[in-house]
Structure 1
Amino acid sequence: MVDVSEVVSPRIVVAAAIIMDGRVLAGERAAEPVTLAGMWEFPGGKVEPGETEPEALERECREELGVAVDVGRRVGADAPIQPGRSVLRVYTAVLRHPASPSARQHRQLRWLSAAELATVPWLHSDATVLPAIATLLLAAQCDAAAGINSWLPGRVPRPGAGDQPRSR
């Protein structure tokens, strides 16, 4: 029998799929740990005790990129980073102010279109949400052409899209 007091929930790691002009921001990992250097990921990090997931994501974007973001909805399912120990949760996000993110903790940053997502080597956990990100990017391009941004946090959805606008 398993002692419930010994069961530990996996650590939550959050990442931002920051979307702008039909592209998503991705960062190339720097040197640490060596085994992950050169791999690509969405910016983010661990949720600290007492933080909500959106609060953690806002903090991580300030620390890693020097920008403020508005956090949107979840993308995809939990992606295991270390099975049983940590999982990745990806959220859409938009820049709160017209600012350029800076690579404070990444080797480099790139804005990738849906067609460019497969041109960089992704961390396995981040790669699991790429199909959903590609769909969002294509929808964002179509919506932008029509002058609407239903996928953004707090925006009015397309008629018939079934989404409800988020209140601020």
Structure 2
Amino acid sequence: MDILIVVAVALIDGEGRLLVQQRPVGKSMAGLWEFPGGKLETGETPELALVRELKEELGIDTETACLAPATFASDRLGDRHLLLLLYVCRKWRGIPRALEGGALKWVRPIELHGLDMPPADRPLVGLLEALL
């Protein structure tokens, strides 16, 4: 079975809120809320992929040293298997903007329970709530 490795980040602001983004129209699972991130490219480490994705998707800069591994999720995704690696980040430069469409919003961890999220993201909610 083919394994798809995806990295995501829980960006946490000074008030303890997390940034979530809505998947844009035209992408699979459009309209669902997720943690920012994306697929690894050939030769990338998960941390470097996340630094790149944050720049491309949100227009913010961070360092690999600012990414703390938090947890992972594993889920079947069609004919592939998804391995989602979640990091926590509290330090970045710039103001997050939705550069690839979809909306952004800052939410308290408890508010994640009320959002429509992809199946792989849902198990991460309880852990983030406990951590924060």
Distance in 1 (CA, whole Å) between partners of 2:39 and 2:102 is 20
Identify the match of residue 67 of structure 1 among 60, 67, 81. 60
Which residue is 2:75 aligned to? 80
Matches within 5 A, 1:1-168: 10-20=3-13, 21-33=15-27, 36-69=29-62, 70-75=66-71, 77-80=72-75, 82=77, 84-97=80-93, 99-137=94-132
How well do the aligned residues superpose, as a CA RMSD in angstroms? 1.7
Distance in 2 (CA, whole Å) between partners of 1:57 and 1:27 is 15
1:119 deviation in Å? 2.4
1:127 deviation in Å? 1.1
Q: Which digits, 9 at most, give the CA deviation of each residue in 1:96-130, with x for residues without a partner? A: 22x21001124111111022112221111111100
1:9 deviation in Å? 5.2
Asked whether the 8 Å contact 1:14–1:46 carries over to 2, the reply is yes
Greater relative CO (CA pairs within 8 A, separation 6+): 2
Which residue is 1:4 aligned to? none
Residue identity opposite 2:74 in structure 1: A
Identity %: 33
Distance in 1 (CA, whole Å) between partners of 2:83 and 2:52 is 18
Q: Using structure 1 for the length normalisation, give the TM-score.
A: 0.69
- Judged with a 3 Å threshold, the aligned counterparts in structure 2 of structure 1 residues 113 and 36 are, in CA distance, closer, same or farther, namely same
Q: Using structure 2 for the length normalisation, give the TM-score.
A: 0.86
Asked whether the 8 Å contact 1:79–1:128 carries over to 2, the reply is no
4+ residue segments displaced more than 6 Å: none
Distance in 2 (CA, whole Å) between partners of 1:110 and 1:81 is 27
Structure 2: which 5+ residue stretches go unaligned?
none
Asked whether the 8 Å contact 1:68–1:95 carries over to 2, the reply is no
Size of the aligned set, in residue pairs, is: 127
Bigger radius of gyration, 1 or 2?
1
Residue identity opposite 2:84 in structure 1: L
- Judged with a 3 Å threshold, the aligned counterparts in structure 2 of structure 1 residues 18 and 41 are, in CA distance, closer, same or farther, namely same
1:81 deviation in Å? 5.0
